[in-house]
Amino acid sequence: MGAIWRQKALNEMPLSDLARKQPSSIFSNVPRFRFIEPCQPVLRDRPPTGSDWIHEVKFDGYRVQLHKQGEATAILSRNGFDFTSRYSTIARALVVIPAKSVILDGELIASSVEGIPEFYALHFRAKRLAPGRLCVWVFDVLELNGIDLRSEPLVKRRQRLEGLMRKVELDAIRLSETFDAPERLLIACEERGLEGIVSKRRAAPYVSGKTHSWIKVKCAAWRKANRERYRLFQARPRSPRSG
C-alpha cells in the first residue's frame, strides 16, 4: 500500500463575472478556460469487484479542475468558481506540466505531517498553511493538446495521464495510483483514517454528473467522524463541497 503515500471576490467569483475582467497575470486568463461539469460517483456500501473495475483512494478535500493553456493556468472548483489566486502555488506548478494545453480532474487536499488529508485545515486555514501541505491528487485527463478525451475509455485516459505525469516530479500536483483489490484497499484506507475509495469502470467514458460507472465507498470511521460536516456548508453556502 506504499503507493498511496506517493501519492474576497475573485476566489469564488463565477466565470461569467471573471470574463468581464481584464487579465493581469498568467493566473487570470480565466475567460479562456471552458469549465466541464465533473463526473460524480454514486455512493454504495461495498465496492464492485472483477476485472472490469479499477480502484483509487478517495481523498478528503475539494474537487478541482486544473486548466493549462500555454503558460496561462486556472484552478476551478467543482461548481466552476475560480480558485486560481487562492491556491497560487498549485497554479504555478501547473505551468510545468509538459503539454501545450490540458484539463485535469483531481482533489485538492491539505495534509498533516503524516500525509493524511485534513479537511478542516483546508476549509478553515488554507491561507495559513505552509505551501508544502497543499497538493492536488489528479486522477483523470479530460483534454490534452486540444483533443477532447472524454469519449475515450478510462483505461486510455489513464495511460495518457500516467505518461504525462511521469515526465515531471511535482509535490503540488501528484498522480493518484490505481489498485486492483478493492476490499484490501478499503481496509488500508480505514486503518489510515482516510475517507474511502472510488471504483471506476475501465471501459467508461467521462460523463458529467452522476454515473454508475463510478462508485464511492466511505470508511466507517470516517463516516462517523464527519456526520455533522454538512453544517459547514449551511453556514457558507457558496463554499465548495468536498468531492
Element housing 73 (H / E)? strand 72-77
DSSP 8-state class, residue 155? H
CA 124 and chain centroid, separation: 19
Query: Is-contact 83 75, C-beta < 8 A?
Result: yes
Residue 15 CB: number of other CB atoms within 10 A? 16
Q: Which of 8, 21, 58, 68 is catalytic?
A: 58
Question: Cell triple for residue 204?
Answer: 467508461
Question: Cell triple for residue 44?
Answer: 454504495
192 phi, psi to nearest 5 deg: -100, 5
Question: Max Cα separation, the chain?
Answer: 51
Query: Is 58 tagged catalytic?
Result: yes
Please, what is the Cα angle at 170 between 164 and 176, to 5 degrees?
A: 65
Active site residues: 58
